[in-house]
Amino acid sequence: AARADGQLEKPAVEFRDIDIHYGKFVAVRDFSLAIRKGSFVTLLGPSGCGKTTILRSIAGLVDISTGQISIGGRRVDDIPIYKRNIGLVFQSYALFPHKSVFDNVAFGLKYRNVPKPEIARRVGKALEMVRLPGSEKKLPSQLSGGQQQRIALARAIVFEPEVLLLDEPLSALDANMREEMRVEIKKIQKETGITAIFVTHDQEEALSMSDRIVVMNAGRIEQIGSPEEVYEAPATAFVADFLGKANMLPGVVASVDGQKATIALSAGQQVTALSPKVLASGARVTVVVRPQKLSVGTSATGNRLAGKVVSTSYLGGSAIYEIGIGEGTIIRANTQIDGRLAREGEAIDVGFDPAACVLMDEKGFRI
Ligand code: ATP
């Protein structure tokens, strides 16, 4: 990133060629990432993909096997945890149960020998930031789960760390509280301008909160991009599936007209798709199309496939249909309902724009 004075700004956090082993098991492989100062970056992936391991390596809680980690341009591989200027928030709030809110939040400041009046001022400010002003004397047990997580957040930001690490901080909260806290955390991050690294397996959380998303799978990075990029232009079949359960329709290129390819689906019907590269006839491809991009019934447009309703889930205003399109292939459509809800077993057309699909090659990479 270029600064106004033309100098290159140092990344807030940089990973170079990181491998992390637990004994013989390789939990993270070839991990390289530069995180811009003040940005909100999410590590997203299924359970066991290595996201927590990466997060913990920043804090020094896990040793890296190879590579380098820098914070603000300074290598930290050999710097002990307490000298790394990092705020941490975990899934479990990890508050001291017998200490007051004040003492919980003040912990990092006392530890850093900040003078008493300054501690009181900063704790007050942090509690205001998390919208719990005046709660200094309460005990954690007197607070709701969401409030406790706010206190944990206040404790993490009170000493103005260079980096804030958030490991699934919302997963212990109920659905409503989770949504509220998403907005809240994002707001606090913007207000403080702190660099935040967030770990989750929840795609909605990642899409709604992040400036950039790092999608991980089995210890490796699948794709790095903005929420729109990873959603609209998934680099791999894994990303397409993990973010929003895309429909994956395997087939063979039947004919090609410039960038327009006609694809014979294994399901037995044909579709046209736009490809950034001119494809060869006979090539095996997978047509990837999101449930939200499908139209059904009389409003089906573009590629029109004949199908039969397998199941219907009414969501109020919209519905998710599972539609059989032949040879055991089922396509999911998430669509607005204007008129009557189609019933199970009914014949129905399903359509999508040739430009709405992404093509993957045989190895699962975007063409
Ligand atoms: P989750 O969302 O379930 O926490 P994750 O993506 O954060 O998953 P990690 O916790 O980073 O995954 O774990 C990555 C892999 O390393 C997993 O296969 C896990 O079993 C393994 N692992 C994690 N910690 C250790 C450890 N201390 N010793 C051995 N293996 C470990």
Whether 38 contacts 193, CB under 8 Å: yes
From the CA of 49, give the closest atom in ligand 1: 6
**Ligand 1 lined by 47 (C-beta under 6 Å):** yes
pLDDT block averages, 10 residues each, the chain of length 367: 64 96 96 97 97 94 94 86 86 88 93 90 95 95 92 94 94 88 93 96 96 98 97 95 92 95 95 92 96 90 95 93 94 90 95 94 95
- 51 in contact with ligand 1, CB cutoff 6 A: yes
What separation in Å is there between the alpha carbon of 218 and the centre of ligand 1? Answer: 10
Is residue 63 a part of any domain in this protein?
yes
What tokens does 133 get?
């002003």
- Whole-number pLDDT of residue 77: 76
Check whether residue 315 and residue 288 sit in a common domain: yes
Residue 200: domain span: 13-241
Q: Is the CB of 339 under 6 A from ligand 1?
A: no
For residue 195, list its beta bridge partners: 163
Q: Is residue 8 part of a domain?
A: no
Measured in Å, residue 222 CA sits from the centre of ligand 1 at: 18
Question: 201: which DSSP letter?
Answer: S
Spacing of C-alpha 268 from chain mean position = 35
Boundary of a domain, candidates 241, 272, 292 = 241
Instruction: Name the residue of 22, 54, 56 whose CB sits within 8 Å of the most ligand 1 atoms, as the mutation to test its pocket.
Output: 22
DSSP run (H or E) holding 211: none
Contact between residue 138 and residue 23 where contact means Cβ atoms under 8 Å apart: no
Residue with tokens 């045989």, as numbered in its chain: 362
Q: Check whether residue 91 and residue 108 sit in a common domain.
A: yes
pLDDT for 2: 53
Ligand 1 mean position, distance from CA 51 (Å) = 8
- For ligand 1, atom 25, which residue shows the shortest CA distance? 22
Which among 193, 223, 241 is the end of a domain?
Answer: 241
Instruction: Specify the pairing of strand 195-200 against strand 163-167.
Output: parallel
Based on the domain organization, do 223 and 256 belong to the same domain?
A: no
The amino acid sitting at 281 is S
- Residue 188 and residue 50 share a domain: yes
Here the CATH number for the domain that contains residue 104 is: 3.40.50.300
**Is residue 31 one of the residues assigned to a domain?**
yes
Same domain, 233 and 252: no
Task: Clarify whether residues 115 and 55 are in a common domain.
Answer: yes
Closest protein CA for atom 7 of ligand 1: 52
Residues 256 and 335 both lie in one domain: yes
For the chain, state the CA radius of gyration.
25
Q: Which residue has tokens 């400010």?
A: 125
Q: What per-residue confidence (pLDDT) applies to 300?
A: 83
Query: ipTM greater than 0.85, yes or no?
Result: yes
Q: 283 and 225, same structural domain?
A: no
| Alpha-carbon dihedral sign for residues 222, 227, 229, 233 | positive
Ligand 1, residue 199: give the atom nearest the CA: 7
